[in-house]
């Protein structure tokens, strides 16, 4: 199985950042995404965008069980219950389209503590503009933020 955690940071005045951390069944990182969204600071929209970014990754991989986990209960519930949300409708449709090709997937809600490594990845992306463009520093950051 593959587990993908997503999270965001939105403390900046004119942008927010999203991160997704992909782990294999042993819990080892096998990929990640860091992205900045200029002009978007609404936490709910950022969480939905982060989920969409996380959903892009497995749609190009083989058929394994995929868990796309996040600590945004509103986004997870909207996806599971097909709850209409006019602010998120287009993004939620994108997520459902991207995951429709997966043979087995789930969107579990997790608490903030279990999402720490992904949160720190998003935070580093917001704090350091050069971080986005340096995969080696990203790799070292991902490894250092995971529990041993």
Domains in the chain: boundaries: 2-139
Q: Looking at the DSSP assignment, which residues form a beta bridge with residue 106?
A: 67
Asked if 18 and 8 touch (Cβ cutoff 8 Å), the reply is yes
* Residue percentage of the chain with pLDDT more than 70: 93
Which one has a higher pLDDT value, 112 or 146?
Answer: 112
Interior CA angle at 139 toward 135 and 141, to 5°?
115
Tokens of 90: 């287009």
Q: What is the pLDDT of residue 146?
A: 74
Residue 148 has pLDDT above 70, yes or no: no
Please give the average per-residue pLDDT across 51-55, as a whole number. 93
Q: What is the pLDDT of residue 119?
A: 93
Identify the pLDDT of residue 85.
73
Q: Which fold has domain 2-139?
A: Nucleotidyltransferase; domain 5 (3.30.420)
Segment 68-125, tens digit of pLDDT: 999 999 999 998 886 667 789 999 999 999 998 888 889 999 999 999 999 999 999 9
Q: Is the pLDDT of residue 35 over 80?
A: yes
Cα–Cα distances (Å) from 55 to 17, 47, 58, 60, 140, in that order, read: 16, 12, 6, 10, 24
Per DSSP, the three-state class of 55 is: helix
CA distance 46 to 37: 8
Phi, psi angle pair for 53, to nearest 5° = -60, -40
pLDDT of residue 60 exceeding 60, the answer is no
pTM attached to this predicted model: 0.88
Give the pLDDT score at 124.
93
pLDDT of 61 > 60? The answer is no
Backbone Cα Rg of the chain? 14
Question: Which residue has better confidence, 146 or 120?
Answer: 120
Q: What is the pLDDT of residue 81?
A: 82
| 28-62 exposure pattern, b = at least 16 Cβ within 10 A, e = fewer | ebeebbbbbbeebbeebbbbbbbbbbbbebbeeee
User: For residue 101, what pLDDT is reported?
Assistant: 82
Tokens of 110: 């997790």
């Amino acid at each position: 199985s593959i587990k993908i955690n997503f999270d965001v940071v939105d403390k900046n005045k004119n942008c927010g950042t999203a991160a997704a951390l992909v782990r294999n069944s042993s819990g080892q990182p096998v990929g990640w995404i860091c992205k900045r969204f200029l002009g978007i600071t609404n936490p709910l929209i950022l969480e939905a965008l982060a989920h969409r970014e996380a959903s892009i990754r497995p749609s190009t991989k083989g058929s394994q069980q995929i868990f796309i986990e996040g600590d945004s209960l509103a986004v997870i519930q909207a996806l599971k219950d097909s709850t209409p949300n006019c602010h998120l409708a287009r993004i939620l449709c994108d997520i459902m389209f991207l995951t429709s090709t997966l043979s087995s997937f789930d969107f579990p809600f997790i608490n903030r503590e279990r999402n720490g490594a992904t949160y720190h990845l998003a935070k580093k992306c917001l704090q350091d503009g050069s971080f986005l463009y340096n995969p080696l520093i990203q790799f070292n950051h991902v490894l250092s933020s995971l529990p041993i």
